Amino acid sequence: MFDVLVAYGTESGNAEMAADDIAANLDARGIKTDVKSLENLSVTELSKIPHLVIVTSTYGEGELPETTAPFYAELDSNAPNLSGITFSAFGLGDSTYNNFNNAINIVSRKLIELGATQLGETGMHDAAMGKSLTLAATTWIDTITSNSVNGHKS
């Protein structure tokens, strides 16, 4: 069994790499993780997940990537009660586009609308800034983990 499911949605594979980096960081802290594509995650599984980390890129002009869209559509059509579910969110985007990191915002808003509680601030990588994706993802999860260990729900 795992403590955290890191679920990713991607077009080009970058969100999967970020998800793997986040999982490796958590594993190194003794937190058991599993990594799964959002396209293979059913909303019926959410109630069994101790904590969910959503990682998704934004595609085109602010759309959900191909592997995030089915999960979001299932959330939207089934509208499950997600109270009691906690999640953290990390997005990948490019600030040269008008709808920077829109996909993670869409998914996070839907999870919260359905009753889930977000722990920590949404992390956002900006490809236009040239910062390492690995560094951005691991710095973000370090902050989330530190706040959770200290009992804070930012």
The answer, yes or no, to whether residue 151 has pLDDT greater than 60, is: no
Q: What is the pLDDT of residues 57-97, one digit of tens each?
A: 999 889 999 999 999 999 999 999 999 999 999 999 999 99
pLDDT category at 56 given cuts 50, 70, 90 is very high
Q: Which CATH number fits domain 4-149: 3.20.20.70, 3.30.70.3270, 3.40.50.300, 3.40.50.360?
A: 3.40.50.360
For 105-149, how does the pLDDT look when each residue is reduced to its tens digit (9 = 90+)?
Answer: 999 999 999 999 999 999 999 999 989 999 999 999 999 988 764
Domain boundary assignment for the chain: 4-149
42: closest CA among 27, 52, 56, 57? 52
10 Å CB burial of residue 17 (0-12, 13-18, 19+) is: middle
Nearest Cα residue to 7 out of 39, 31, 30, 32: 39
* pLDDT computed for residue 28 by the predictor: 94
The values of phi and psi at residue 92, to 5°, are -115, 130
pLDDT computed for residue 87 by the predictor: 97
The mean pLDDT of 39-43, rounded to a whole number, is 94
pLDDT at 148: 67
